[in-house]
Amino acid sequence: MLHHTSPHAFQLSVTVNGKLVERKILTHLRLLDFLRNDLRLTGSKEVCGEGECGACTVILNGRTVNACLILAVEVNGGNIVTIEGLAGTNELTELQRSFEDHHAVQCGYCIPGMVLTGEKLLERNAHPSRDEIKYELSGNICRCTGYHKIIDAIELAGGDL
């Protein structure tokens, strides 16, 4: 993280994975760095750092966003869900299980973002077409799987194998 300007402190209050977090942070801190370094929630990954790849996807106030394109101060008062909090008290969501069942994971780096994006899609549309899945996933890049198994996992989540 570059420090281009003189540091200023900010008292941040934000709900992360259902818990209220209050921290003093510096205003130039990115949300992604706040989650990974301050809260040790390392499921959200940094790859491109400029909003092209979706590896840092988190859910902010019900919408998927790139945590690398947001300053932590901007989410003051907001509600964030990361991959760590997605299943709540359950071990895994149906979609996470489906990623396992369909062998949709190779190196795994993009998978937290893929799962969160897929989860929000299924929330709106329980039976999306493959084209609808591809459209929704267009902000998430994977360089291993060729996408087919990821699309399978979302298409068939909650169904019988």
Partner 1 sequence: MKYYQPTSLTELFELHSTLSAQSSVFLAGGTDLIPRYERGLVMPDHLIDLKKLSALNQIQDSESHVTIGALATIQDIQEHEILATEFLALHKASYDFAGAQIRHRGTIGGNICNASPAGDLLPALYAFEAILTLSGPAGERQLAIKDFILGPGKTALREAEILKSIVLNRDQYLSDFQKVGLRQSMAISVVNVAFVFSRAGETFNHLKIAAGAVAPTIVTLDKFTQAFVQNGGNATAIKDLIQEDISPIDDIRATASYRKRVLTNLIGAFLAGQTR
Mark residues 129-158: x for contact with partner 1 by CB under 8 A, - for none.
------xx-xxx------------------
Place of tokens 């998927």: 64
Dihedral sign, CA of 69, 73, 74, 76? Answer: positive
Closest of 96, 14, 116, 15 to residue 56, by C-alpha: 116
One of 54, 96, 112, 157 touching partner 1 (CB under 8 A):
54
Stretch that binds partner 1, among 36-44, 47-55, 86-94, 99-107 (CB under 8 A): 47-55
SS3 56: coil
Assess 71 for contact with partner 1 (CB under 8 A): yes
The secondary structure of residue 66, as a DSSP letter, is E
As a whole number of angstroms, the distance between CA 97 and CA 93 comes to 6
Half-sphere exposure of 16 (CA within 13 A, CB side): 24
What's the min distance (Å) between Cβ of 27 and partner 1?
A: 4
As a whole number of angstroms, the distance between CA 46 and CA 54 comes to 9
Stretch that binds partner 1, among 54-62, 96-104, 143-151, 152-160 (CB under 8 A): 54-62
One of 14, 41, 65, 111 touching partner 1 (CB under 8 A):
65
Residues that bind partner 1 (CB under 8 A): 1-2, 4-8, 10, 27-28, 30, 49-52, 54, 57, 60, 63-66, 68-71, 73-74, 76, 117, 120, 135-136, 138-140
